[in-house]
Amino acid sequence: MHTRRTPPPCPPRPSPARPPAPPPCAPSSTPSSPHCTTAPTAATAPSPQADPTPSPPGLRTATHPVIPDHGTGPHDALRTLINALTEGAADPAHPLCAAHLHTPPLALAAAADLAASALNPSMDSWDQAPAASALEADITAALATEIYPHQPSPDALITTGGTEANQLALLLARERNGPVQTICAANAHHSITRAAWLLGLPAPVVIPAPTGVMDLAALDYALTELHRPLLVTATAGTTDTGQIDPLADIADLCTTHGAELHIDAAYGGPLLFSPTHRGKVHGLDRAHSVTLDLHKLGWQPAPAGILATPDRTHLDTLHHHAPYLNADDDTEAGLPDLLGRSLRTTRRPDALKIAVTLKALGRTGLADLIDHTIAAAHHLADLIAKTPTLDLYDRPTISTVLFRPTDADDNTVATIRRTLLTRGHAVLGRAHTDNRLWLKATLLNPHTTPDNLRTLLDLVNQLANDLAEGNTPR
């Protein structure tokens, strides 16, 4: 196999993964562009029908021996391993694959990601990525401005996702203030606790979230009683229910008590692009830092995370010197210094797929995808509410819907989920809230139809009936 040394041409326009179709719940409108379709897969089910094993049999056969004495050649290796991986994969583009914040990537973004892999710029020094570094600077500044529209010089870093972004947020707060005491609600992402541990900070003070969002009275009490410096971490789009903390009220309390505020908007942040839904994240611009993931409600291949700050100087503390990458005389001569753009050294040019998507879809196209996805979640909630054999936890805030068979115990709910998974019929998540276990549907496919949703509920109801009659799934 030969490595191509000349720059490849621009990636060809990707063909849609499926014919453009009217989005669900909005029959009079059409997708903004064929690029809105998700990347194609060969799977015909949301997941393979198999018992959980460390290595699926087909994959084990395809990979053995993992390091052969003599290679099989590029065509055989690609065909064998990609087919085996596809056959054993959960398919996020399938409408019944709805367990996690696991998005079906846009075909357009996947094509851009392939070009990034072929060009292979490394984002740790300008001489390895002259064009990619300039593109990243433009994209991060533009995304930061979406979050902080009234600040003169906001900026953002590209991360591998919410976990890294939250870790960076706590690191920046520590460097500004010393060993900060973090305060979060019981609904916060687990990465907040891990970041505090990793950075040698006190364990977060966890306050209650009895209705699924941060309790303001409990926050006021904690801010009054705890010693400073304090960092409150709020959530815009919780993992379990998709709910959004009262951001503006939390910001008011932080201002009153002299605390800093970080908002983990990995899930809910992209609502900023939707005129219909951006009001749900009002107050985002008052945070000292904001996490946002575009591999969730941005339909990017992972990773595509962001940490934004209202002032680019807030990132200065990340500056690091390595003479072979950012020698002083090179920096003085005008070569951009990239080491302070991440805690990582070698980095992929993840800005490319984001830039291509934003240019192709624009604000209206991205808003279209967001609005149709949320509309599908509300349609699912409507169907559940009209089904006497199912209980709905609450109306969705974003695109997460919790439900369970009426009168089922938690063991039955867990069994239904596992059975759907191992039979390859549907991939649902689970969430424990309100002292009960719920099935969780996290809808991220804008092509999901009402028929798909009815099929999902029929599968759940049938399994619940079987279990009630004493038929134990195998």
The residue with greater pLDDT, 47 or 192, is 192
Which of 24-28, 91-95, 114-118 has the weakest average pLDDT?
A: 24-28
The residue-averaged pLDDT of 336-361 equals: 96
Alpha carbon separation from 107 to 1, 96, 295, 398, 412 (Å, rounded):
26, 19, 13, 23, 38
Cα dist from 395 to 42, 230, 407, whole Å: 34, 33, 20
Confidence at residue 449, expressed as pLDDT on a 0 to 100 scale: 97
pLDDT given for residue 52 in this prediction: 67
What's the residue count for the chain?
Answer: 474
Determine the Cα–Cα distance for residues 288 and 306; give it in Å rounded to an integer: 14
Tokens of 78: 């690609």
User: Among 45-59, 176-190, 346-360, 453-467, which is the least confidently predicted range?
Assistant: 45-59
Helices marked H in 120-208 = 130-147, 162-177, 190-198
Local structure of residue 153 (DSSP, 8 states): B
Mean pLDDT check: name the lowest of 36-50, 146-160, 373-387, 390-404.
36-50
State the pLDDT at residue 31.
Answer: 40
In the numeric block, the tokens 């087919």 are attached to 83
Question: 52-81 burial, b if ≥16 CB within 10 A, otherwise e?
Answer: eeeebebbeebeeeeeeeeeeeeeeeeeee
Give me the helix-helix angle, 410-422 and 450-468, nearest 10°: 120
Tens of pLDDT along 244-272? 999 999 999 999 999 999 999 999 999 99
Residue 88 has pLDDT above 90, yes or no: no
pLDDT band at 14 (very low <50, low <70, confident <90, very high): very low
Q: In this predicted structure, which of 7-16, 365-374, 388-397 has the lowest mean pLDDT?
A: 7-16
pLDDT score of 9: 33
For 350-373, how does the pLDDT look when each residue is reduced to its tens digit (9 = 90+)? 999 999 999 999 999 999 999 999
CB 407 within 8 A of CB 464: no
Report the mean per-residue pLDDT for the chain: 90
Q: Kind of pairing, strands 289-293 and 436-442?
A: unpaired
Percentage of the chain surpassing pLDDT 90?
84
Whole-number Cα distances in Å, 211 to 192, 247, 289, 326, 442: 20, 15, 25, 50, 19
CA dihedral 422, 424, 430, 436 (to 10 degrees): -70
Report the pLDDT value the prediction gives residue 470, as an integer from 0 to 100. 83
**pLDDT for residue 98:** 96
Q: What Cα–Cα distance (Å) separates residue 207 from each residue in 183, 246, 257, 447?
A: 7, 14, 16, 38
* Confidence band, pLDDT 50/70/90 cuts, at residue 473: low
* Largest pairwise CA distance in the chain: 77
Cis peptide before 229 (omega within 30 of 0): yes
Rounded to an integer, the average pLDDT of 291-320 is 97
Phi, psi dihedral angles at 127 (to 5 degrees): -70, -15
- Mean pLDDT calculated for residue range 151-178: 98
Find the radius of gyration of the CA atoms of the chain.
Answer: 23
pLDDT of residue 51: 66
With 0-12 CB in 10 A as exposed, 13-18 as middle and 19+ as buried, what is 417?
buried
Half-sphere exposure of 126 (CA within 13 A, CB side): 13
Which residues partner with 290 through β-bridges? 263, 308
Residue range 15-65, pLDDT digits in tens: 333 333 333 223 223 344 444 555 544 446 888 876 666 666 778 888 889
> Which residues, listed in sequence order, are joined to residue 392 by a DSSP beta bridge?
403
Residue 150 falls in which region: left (phi positive, over 0), alpha (psi -120 to 50) or beta: alpha
What percentage of residues in the chain have a pLDDT greater than 70? 88
Note the Cα 466 to chain centre separation in Å: 35
**Mean pLDDT, range 119-142, rounded to an integer:** 97
Strand (E) or helix (H) holding 235: strand 230-235
C-alpha angle with apex 47: 44 to 51, nearest 5 degrees?
A: 130
- Alpha helices by DSSP H, listed for 328-409, are 328-332, 351-385
pLDDT of residue 15: 36
pLDDT at 6: 38
pLDDT at 59: 83
- What's residue 38's pLDDT? 57
Average pLDDT over residues 92-97: 95
Please tell me the distance from the alpha carbon of residue 472 to that of residue 10, in angstroms, as a whole number: 55
CA nearest neighbour of 404 among 264, 396, 238, 414: 414
Whether 209 shows a pLDDT value over 50: the answer reads yes
**Alpha helix ranges (H) inside 64-161:** 74-87, 107-119, 130-147
- Residue 21 has phi, psi (to 5 degrees) of -135, 155
Q: From CA 373, how far away is CA 380, in angstroms rounded?
A: 11
